[in-house]
Each structure stands twice: as C-alpha cells, then as structure tokens.
Structure 1
Amino acid sequence: MTIQIHTFRRGAIYTWRKRLPAKLGGGVLQLSLRTSDPLIGRRIAAILGGESCGVIDAMVHQGLSKEDARRLLGAVIAREHQKIQNRRLAAAEAGHERSWQQAKSYDWAVGKALTLLAERGASACPLTDQDRDSMRDEGRTEAEIAAVQTVLEQEARTYAEDPRQGLNTRSLRLMREELKRQEFSPLELLHGRQIYYRGRGAALLDMSAEQAVTEQASDLAAELARAQVCSDPPVAIEAAARAEATPSAPSVATAPVARASLNTGAAHAVPCEQPAYDPQLTALVARLMDQKRRQGMSGGMILQMTRVFALFVEATGVEDVRALRQEHIAKFVDTLQLLPVHYGKSPKDRGKPLRVILENARGQPVGLSATTINRNLDYIGQLLIKGRSEGFRGLGDLDPNSLRQRKTKRDRDDRPPFTAEDVQAIFRHPVWHGFQSTGRWQQPGNMLTKDGFYWLPLIAALSGARRGEIAGLKAAEIGTVEGIPCMTLHINRNRGLKNLTSARVLPLHPELLELGLVDHAESRLAKGGRDADLFPDMRPKTLPSVEDAADDDEGGKFGDKINYRFNKLVDRQVTANRAKKTFHSFRHYVATQLGRLTDVPDQVRKDILGHAGSSITEERYTETSPLAAKLAALERLPRLPL
C-alpha cells in the first residue's frame, strides 16, 4: 500500500525505497521506517526524499579518480594484450589447420562477453534477441554467438559476487599492485572491477580486429569515471532520521530509521557491510552445525547430517558453495542410488573412499531407500537456506525437492511396529525371568541382572521413548513431579534430543515402579551423585561428536551397546513377520496402542511421544498436557508378563 511517493507498507511497517540511476547500477535503495503510523511514515519519508537527491548525486562521483581509472585501465589492457599475443604464438606453433582464425574468433567472443558484463553487470546474461541480431549483422556466426553466451554464463556468476571474493580478487590484486594501495572503499572496488572487465573486453575485441589498443586507455578511463552503489547508509539520510527523532518530536523517536539495505536489480551492486563468510562448503557446513548445536539438536543428528554433507562433497567434487548448480544435486541423488543398501551401517565403511565403496557394491543390492534419499535432500535444502541467509547468491535457483523420490510403500510399513503379541513374547525371555550365565543369557536359569539391557526395553514398551533418550538418562532425571513419579527427558551431558518437541516429562508406568526403577535411580544417586548415569553400562566408549566419531562395533551413542543382543533376542522370541523390526518398533507399538484409545485426546498422545502439534494453534497456543492426563493414558498400555 502506497501512502505517498517512494513510501510503501510492507506488512504493518512502512518502507521508503527509491530506484537508483543507471550510473549507480539501477538498484533500489530501501529503508524501513520502523513505524506503522501513516502520519509518522509520511513525515520521515518526506525528509528522506529531499535528502536522498543530494546523497545519490554525490554517490555518482565517489569512485576511483580519473587518474587512477586511467592507470588501472592501461595496466589491464597492456596485460591482456600480452596474454593474447602469447596465446596467438602458441596457436601458430601448434600448426593446426585454422588455429589462428579460431583463436581470433574465440578472443572476440570473450571480449564481447566481458564488454557486455562491464556495461550491464550480471544482468547481461542471457543474451537478448536484439543482441543476437546485432551480432549477426556484424557477420558473426551462430557458433561465435553461442560462444558469447557460454562465456557470459561463466563470468556472470563471478560478477554477481562480492568483489573481494573468489575470482573477483583478480581485479583487487591488480588495483593494489598498480595503484599502490591496500585498502579501497566499496565504491572503488566496484568501479575497479568494472574497469578490469571493460579493459579486458576492449583488448580482446580490438586484437580480434587487428587494431592497436593501448592508445584507447585514456578515452575509456574518462568514460568509466562513474561509481557503483554501496549499501552503507548515506550520512545525510541518517542525519535526517536522527534530526527527526529528537525529543521535540517524541512520536517519531520511538520509530528510528533502520540502516539502509540494497535490493539490487543490478547484480554487481554489492552490500559493502555484508559479513565476509568463508565460501568453502566445509566451512558452511560447520557454521550450520554450530547453529543446530545452539538450537539443541542432538549430537547423533549433527553427526548424521555432517556425514551426509561430506558424502555430498565427495560425490560432486564441489568445494565452493558459489559453484553449486542443480546438476550437482542430481549427481548426488544418482550416487545415493548406486550405494549398497546397507551403506553406513558398518563403522568399517566410514574410512573408505566413495569410489571404493561403489566398486565393492558391484553385483550387490544397491540403492538407498526413498526415505533415506529424501531425508538427505532435506539436509541439502537446509544447507542451501543457510547459504542464502549468509548472502551467497544463486542458491535460490537450486531445488532439491524436485529430485525427491516417490515412496513405494506407506511410512507405517517402512519400519513396522511390534504387535501386542510380539511385545508379550519378547518379555517372556529369560533376561526378565532369569538366565543361566553371562555367556548363556538366552537359556532359562536363576541369574537376573537389572542393567541397561534389562531396563531399556521395559521403559520403551511402557513409555514410547526413544532408545537414546532412555539410555542417556541421568539418575537425577528420575523423580517426583507434582506428586507423580516421572522421568524428565531434556538435553543433558550424555545426549541431545532429536528436536525441540522431544523435551518432555513422562509419568512412569506403574509396572516400572513395581519393578524398582525408582529404587535403581536412588541407588545410582547415592553412589555417583546428581551427575551419575542411570545406566552406566550404556555409556559408549567414545561419545558422539562431529570431529571424533566412534569406529568400534559398540558404536558412539548411548544405547548402541544393546544392538547385537537385542536383535538376537528378537530373533528368538518373534517368529512371525520378524523382518525390519528393531528397538524403535517399541515406539511404534506405543503409538499404535495409544491411537486405539479413542477417548485419549490426540494432543496427549503427541505430548507423550514428543511430536509437534499439527497446527499453529496446537504448537504455539496450547500448553502441554497435564501429567495426570499422560499418566492416565500410559496406565492403559498392556501390562507385561513379568
């Protein structure tokens, strides 16, 4: 909504914006007025409109001086001239048929592309129909015009980036060498880069036409004596805003003008105060993982995502985020479909190069599941979002979701739950009734050990909690809340949680109390204090971390130690439809059992399992279910045969 010229409402807040002249790249200078009051908005906008005219006029003349521009341009042309001569000499020595003519043709194509970039910025790509017609009128072939388009596509990506990064540092290095300075203003950097491209283009075009070029430096320098725009807030504009926000105008003082930002239409208008982030993919991954860690993501999830990103880099060979293209994501998906179906399950695979893993997979079942591929694409999407938030351009065109795989079966069938009969059969095992010895734990006997292997399946079957959540409990996290014995699942020194909704307090099922879980916790507290692990035998030899992942068979996460024995136990006890049932099937079992209780509210089930609400009302405006309601639901889970 417009309330006066250059002033618009975005949401509830008014914004002032003005298109810049072509000499400044044709971008848009935009400032938030930080007010929802139209009267205040009009008042500040009027001041900004008047002050901006003088400021923008000054911006046009704040680039390199004419003398510096002439000196820099002369150096660019001289260097490019020498490089052209060297290439021509090499082509002549090669002796290939028409090599000299081909070299001239290519020099013209590159020179034309660079000249267009210097004139139009990154928006020079792609060529317009008028451009193509003009080149045809010059007598250029379709192959030469296609070569111009190819060079434009390559160079425009560089031109759209910060002039201090990547290949753009070529112009910065030359400026430092020729102008004998180390520091340049943002406007000077943009101006210098434009001269660099214009000079190279002029040299190539004129050499391809067999004309001398060095005498043109002076004329071109005068023509190029104009500057580009920077997003630093003009002093006069800020001064106007400060003058308006004085004690004499208290209504405006509460709505200070924000610092200027540039929504640039010309890709070469680069914000000068934008933080310089390392463009290496590994550095971007590290920053994303630091962010996830601050948000409370579990160490296991961070480790999993980091391994996916490492695989992406190895599969595509891309190391710089600015070089990412859609075809790289497609190549990554192709690689996932060639990996062995059990890729990543064995610690021995982690140190092997990808090419070795792919070679060893020949003749074996290959192709990760649609669920795994789609999850990995979700991770790539999060990485792209992080890159865009840091200002890396071009990532908005990448679309991992377009490569998502169609599932061939329902999610509920991907990891089947234990049935009620399965659970009853599992807990008839000697582990919970007495076994012969440590080595003969599957045979009935008189030995009963209430260790982690004893407790983890019990708690999972009577709460629906995840294995890692249970295994990493501290003894102090078993206690009484509101008069109800509970376990508190929060991030602790042993492990994180899968997501924010995973943090919860769960009442203990009466059967767990009867079996002595609270007594076990009190015993551990008495021995080790409040930092004591509830199940010390579940502590891995190496705790999970991105830098130091465990490579032993016992794994690097709390709960990994029971994998082998638990699978053996299930093999013995569950004879019907055993395939793909794992420890996590307890969680699905509890969800299924609670889902069949029609009088239990859906929100109570979600709060027990740590699932997010299905709407913004549930997620933001609904409090967690009372402990009494959770206990009433959990008490209705089938009792175990103990």
Structure 2
Amino acid sequence: MYDALASGDLSPADCKSWLESVVRAELAAITQTRTIARLDPAASAETDRHADWAQAQAWRLIAERGLGASVAPADAETLRGAGASAEAMATLERLHARIVSEILAPAGVATMIAAARAALAPTQPDKAPLLDAPSYMTILQLRKFLIAGRAAAWDAADQMTDPTQNWANDFARSLVASQQLPECFVTARAEAAAHTSPPSSEVVSTPVASPVFPIAGPPPDKFTFDPDLLALVGRINSEPDRAHIKEDSRKQLIAGVKLFMRATGITRITDVEQQHLKYFKGVLQRLPRHYGKSPKDAARSIDEILARADDLPEDEVGLAPRTINGHLDRFDLLLRTAKSENLKVSDSIELGLLRVPETKRDRDKREPFTVDDIRKVFRHTVWTGCHRADRRHLPGSLVLQDGLYWGPLMAAYGGARREEILGLAPEDFCEIDGIPCYHIRDNAHRTVKTLSSERLVPIHPHLIELGLLDHVAERRKARETAIFPELKPTNDTETFGDKIFYNWDRALDIQLDGNPKGLCFHSLRHYVIGFLKGDKTVSEKERRDLVGHVGTDAHDENYDTPTRMWEMLQIVMRLPRVF
C-alpha cells in the first residue's frame, strides 16, 4: 500500500515508523490536553467537547480532501443534519483554515522534518542521511502520513465512524487498534464515549491549539540554527530589523525557495552548490512566461511545466532577466544570513557569474497604451455588456461591476498599480476637502510597495458617474473587508490580480488584434504617467504625488509638502474619458 508514495526517499518501513510516531505522539497529546482540561479547567466541559469535535472533523476533512479543499457546503449540510450548530460549524471552518496554514508554513515544515528525523534516526541510523536533506517528494511523503496519522488519532480517540476507503487512514486506524500502542490510548478510548456526538447550539469558544509534536532527545542548542531552507526563510522573515519589509517581498522569498526546492530537490542551505544555482537559473530561463498564473501549475512537476514550455512560442518562454536576477538576489540574502548564523555554506558560490544581462532600458521594457488603444479595450463586452457571468467575452446585456470591470478603469483614471487597486478595502475610501478619494496604504489583505507608494488618489468623475462609490457603499454595508471580495487570495502565493488575469489578458487579445505590443495591466500605469508627462501644465512633483514615485533628491523627500487634493483632482481630470 506504500507504493502509492514510492517516488520519495522513504521506504515502506520508514513510512510505517513515521506514521506510528505521529499516531502515538498525537494520542499522547490528546490525552494530556484532556487531563489538563479535567484537572485545571480553563473552560467548560461542553466547550472542550466542542473544540475536540472540531479538531477531529477538521483533520478528517483534510485527510480525505487534501490541503487545497475547504469545508464544502455539502459537508456543512451533512454535519448540521447530524446536529452540529452554526457556532460549531464556524469553529470548524476557522480551525480547518488554521491547521492548513500551519502545515504549509515554513515553520510547520521544519517542525515536521525535525520530528521525522527524531522518529527514524534512533532506530534506523542508516536512513538518517535521507532525512538530513529530504527531497521535495519526500516532504510530501512525510506530510501525507502526518495528516493521515493525526486524523486517525482523533478518529480513534473520539470513536468516530468513517466509511471512506482511504488506504492511509485505514492503515492508521489499524495501528490504533494495535496492542503495541502506548498506555495513553487506553485512557483516550475510555473517554471516547463522552466525545461522540456533534455539538449543537451551545456557544463555542476558540478551539484549543494543536500541540506540537514532541521531539525525542535533548532540547536544541539555542546557538545552533536549522539549515533547512524553509526554516531559514522563516527566520529571515521574522527578524525584527526586517519588519519594514513588505508582505509581498516576504511571499516572493518563500515562493522562490519553494521553486528552487522543486527544481533541484535541495532542501538545506548547507547543501547548495554553484551547480545547483546554475541549474536553477536554467530552469527559470525555460519556464513559461506566465508560470504560476494558473492554479494547475502547483500540481504539475517541474518536468511537466518545462515540457509544456517546449510547445510555446519563443517569446512566451523564459522569465525576464529582472525576475531571474531577483531570484539570485534573494539567494544572496539566504547565503549571507546563513553565514551570519555560522552555517557551513559553500565558499565557491559566485552569484555574479549567473546574473542575466538586461536587454532593454527600463523605460522600454513595457509599452504604454495609446489613447486609441485604451478606447478600443473599453469597448469590450466586459464594459459594454456580456452574455453572462461566465461568458464575459460574448456580447449580451449584462454589465457585471466586479473587480474585472472596475480595476482597469481605476488604473486608467489614476495610474495606480494592479494590487494597489484590487486590494482596496471599504475603509480606504474617504473624502478630503469634500473630494472623494481612495487611500493607497497597507491594509489587512496586502501591503504597498514602498513608503512613497502610500498616497491619496482623487476619484475621477467618470468613475463616480458609473457607480464606484455606490459599489463601495454596498461592500461596506455587507461588512466586506475588500471592495472586490471575489478576488481575495486563497493562499500565500496568490494575489488579487491572479483572479482577473485570464479574462483581462483575453480581452486585450480580442480588442487589440492579438495584442502584438504585449500590453498588460501595468501598461495602464505607463499610459497615465506618459500622458501626464506630455501635459506641460502638470509638474513633475504633481505627477509623482499622484502615482506614488519617490522624490528626485533630499529636498523633494524632506521639505516638499503633498499636492493639495483639489489640485490633484484637476490633474486626474486631464486624463481622457475612456468611453
């Protein structure tokens, strides 16, 4: 039955040892938590029962559906039919999301690997080298049995019946029935009768946090740092002196390291050599330009993605030099941090030998829209009327005012970046001196690029005529946290713009005869800046204040005052109406 995961380094015996360790540790933790709750209660017994029920249900759903699935409406209906209250379901959804986040987080991966080393190394020392530098597929093996083991432990502890024929869960349950399990299982089984039915209408408090796996052996030396790449990234992102680093930059660091691990199989900074980075650079030069835009890319192997790239036109293959060099710059940060922690990294790595020369001047990298281009694009059915919500490119009578509709319009009337616009919250809209505007700043969903990016942008009168303020008011009344809630990212690698990418790109192809200039959302920003540069009545400072550019010298940065909102509105109104 372990052949299903034979692509990693763990043998069937390794998998069994790891799974047994997970089940034992989780049962011990469950028993300890219940003992503490019974002898030193922090909440009512009913609240503890609700928390246990949510834990068991969350792990069962994750084991059956995987980490990408959420609590589906059908699941909620089934559980409510069995007696679960609305409060209990809300607790389950919160707990489910938290567990998934913890499993995928760099710290969670590092903890899992450390626990696996402790579980396997004492009894199988010859297997320890495999766990010193686990491959990407081995990490997936460990994760599979981590989920199966914890789900089975909760399933056994609460005596829940599960009719599914999931082989990993079935095996885990057979371990639970084994006489070789620790004495704590007897206690858990004896208490199971009190934890069988789903909670009903009582108030549910925040569930008890899942205990971390106990790791055998003495505590780690506080002066010793884990060389695991994801653990290293976690330390970098949590350093107090990097608190000013924007969330997008933190996500880029995590995503880049995960891509490197997928491409090379290297998981520790101490194992990285020049040839690995050279190979990684080659992979980046062969990836499709739009790699990562499709959710399916996450499920494909690097070889599958590169094979798809072989069928693409040459101009659609290979990441841009700036992007590749950005990956190399992030590895420079990783290596410097590892050296500061006295980790033994290779002395022969020379990232400068791998840098890709730029082939274009910065101003030539993206072409701007012309006024004619802009008006052609906004004659598309997204803005004039489409067939239905899932047929935005067919003509009809439906004008759906969502993020795809408003985002490009707001960019054409203000020059803001894609995420600056699409990630706006209702509270980011306000009035200054009686002029409606939106405040581009950090919010709960995303950060802004730089300190100079934070600014107030007056709303063009055409947007008000089209109903933008009404749209914001509706989102505020509905207590939404984003003005385009349908675009909210569902994981750490997604952005608001990912949800409109396909339809926006398709609209450009249709309206601009294949889009030969390669125009994109950011080209709208270039259009606004270029248009205002051509208007000699608009000063350079006024233009910078509108689009969020840094000043040209210390005088601009330290002594200038922001352009008044009335003047900013006059500048925005110089931009031509798009239809």
| Matched ranges for 1:403-422 at <5 A | 403-422=354-373
SS at match of 2:521: coil
Instruction: Give, in whole Å, the separation in 2 of the partners of 1:577 and 1:362.
Output: 22
Once the two structures are TM-superposed, the CA of residue 359 in structure 1 deviates from its matched residue by 5.8
Which residue of the partner structure matches residue 37 of structure 2? none
Residue 389 of structure 1 deviates from its aligned partner by 4.9
CA spacing shift, 1:391–1:501, aligned 2, 3 Å:
farther
Match of 1:281 among 229, 235, 246: 229
Higher gyration radius (CA): 1
Q: What's the counterpart of residue 478 of structure 1?
A: 429
Which deviations, in whole Å up to 9, do the C-alpha atoms of 1:227-270 show, x marking residues without a partner? xxxxxxxxxxxxxxxxxxxxxxxxxxxxxxxxxxxxxxxxxxxx
Task: Decide which of 290, 295, 302 is 2:244's aligned counterpart.
Answer: 295
Matches within 5 A, 1:334-373: 334-358=282-306, 365=314, 367-373=318-324
Cα pair 1:494 1:558 within 8 Å, conserved: no
Q: State the distance in 1 between where 2:276 and 2:245 align.
A: 30
C-alpha distance in structure 2 between counterparts of 1:339 and 1:281, whole Å: 22
CA shift in 2, pair 1:362/1:419, >3 Å: closer
Structure 2 CA distance for partners of 1:368 and 1:471, relative to 1, 3 Å: closer
1:565 correspondence with 2:503: yes
Q: How has the CA–CA distance of structure 1 residues 615 and 573 changed in structure 2, closer, same or farther, with 3 Å as cutoff?
A: same
Per-residue deviation, 1:390: 4.4
Q: Is the 8 A contact 1:474 1:532 kept in 2?
A: yes
The number of residues matched between the two structures is 355
Aligned counterpart, 1:383? 334
- What code does the residue aligned with 2:473 have? E
Shift of 1:623: 4.5
Could you tell me which residue of structure 1 aligns to residue 531 of structure 2? 593
Is 1:308–2:259 an aligned residue pair? no
Q: Kindly tell me: are residues 401 and 513 of structure 1, through their superposed partners in 2, closer, same or farther at Cα, counting changes over 3 Å? A: farther
> Which one of the candidate residues 589, 603, 615 is aligned to 2:541?
603
Q: Does 1:534 align with 2:483?
A: yes
Alpha-carbon distance, 1:466 to partner: 2.0
Deviations 1:186-242 (A, max 9, x none): xxxxxxxxxxxxxxxxxxxxxxxxxxxxxxxxxxxxxxxxxxxxxxxxxxxxxxxxx
Which deviates more from structure 2 when the two are superposed, residues 606-615 or residues 370-379? 606-615
Letter in 1 for 2:464: L
The equivalent of 2:473 in structure 1 is 522
| AA partner of residue 496 (structure 2) | F
State whether structure 2 residue 570 is matched by structure 1 residue 632. yes
- CA spacing shift, 1:317–1:455, aligned 2, 3 Å: closer
Counterpart of 1:141 in structure 2 is none
CA distance in 1, matches of 2:397, 2:303: 52
The aligned amino acid for 1:586 is: L
Percent of residue pairs identical: 39
Secondary structure of the corresponding residue to residue 413 of structure 2:
helix
In structure 2, what residue type is equivalent to 1:498? K
Deviation at 1:328, TM superposition (A): 4.3
- Greater displacement, 284-293 / 588-597: 284-293
Pairwise CA RMSD? 3.3
Q: Which amino acid aligns with 1:372?
A: T
Q: What is the distance in 2 between the residues matched to 1:561 and 1:619? A: 36
State the Cα deviation string for residues 309-368 of structure 1 (Å, max 9, x = none): 223345455544345555543343233334445443433232344355456655765543
Amino acid at match of 2:439: T
Structure 2 CA distance, aligned partners of 1:616 and 1:399? 35
CA 604–325 in structure 1, closer or farther in 2 if over 3 Å, else same:
farther
CA distance 1:481–1:324, change in 2 (3 Å): same
| Partner of residue 321, structure 1 | 269
532 and 361 in structure 1: CA distance in 2 versus 1, 3 angstrom threshold: closer
Q: 1:454: Cα distance to partner? A: 2.1
Task: Give the Cα separation in 1 of the matches to 2:264 and 2:391.
Answer: 49
Q: Which residue of 1 aligns with 2:135?
A: none
Matched residue of 1:431: which SS? helix
Residue 629 of structure 1 and its aligned partner are, at CA, apart by 3.8
1:639 partner amino acid: R
Displacement, 1:463? 1.0
What SS does structure 1 have at the residue aligned with 2:256? helix
Task: Give 5+ residue unaligned stretches, structure 1.
Answer: 1-272, 550-555
Per-residue deviation at 1:570?
2.0
Is this contact kept in 2: 1:468–1:557, CA < 8 A?
Answer: yes
My pick for the range that moved more, 468-477 or 289-298, is 289-298
**CA distance in structure 2 between the aligned counterparts of 1:621 and 1:390, rounded to whole angstroms:** 41
Q: 1:608 to 1:560 in 2, by over 3 A?
A: same
Unpaired stretches in structure 2, ≥5 consecutive residues = 1-220
Given that 2:386 and 2:393 are in contact with CA atoms closer than 8 Å, whether structure 1 keeps it comes out as yes
**Take 1:398 and 1:623, find their aligned partners in 2: how far apart are those partners?**
47
Compared CA separation, residues 445 and 498, structure 1 to 2 (3 A): same
- Tell me, in whole angstroms, the C-alpha distance in 1 between the residues paired with 2:534 and 2:559: 26
Residue of 502, 505, 525 corresponding to 2:456: 505
In structure 2, C-alpha distance between the alignment counterparts of 1:443 and 1:349, rounded to whole Å: 27
Q: Secondary structure at the match of 1:337?
A: helix
1:420-431 correspondence runs (5 A): 420-431=371-382
Deviation string 1:361-409 (CA, Å, 9 cap, x unpaired) is 5576554332321222222233334345545577898543443212223
Distance in 2 (alpha carbons) for counterparts of 1:442 and 1:454:
12
C-alpha contact (below 8 Å) 1:298/1:498 kept by paired residues: no
Task: Determine the C-alpha separation between the residues in 2 that align with 1:559 and 1:358.
Answer: 24
1:444/1:333 Cα in 2 relative to 1: closer, same or farther (>3 Å)? closer
Q: What TM-score comes out, normalization by structure 1 length?
A: 0.49
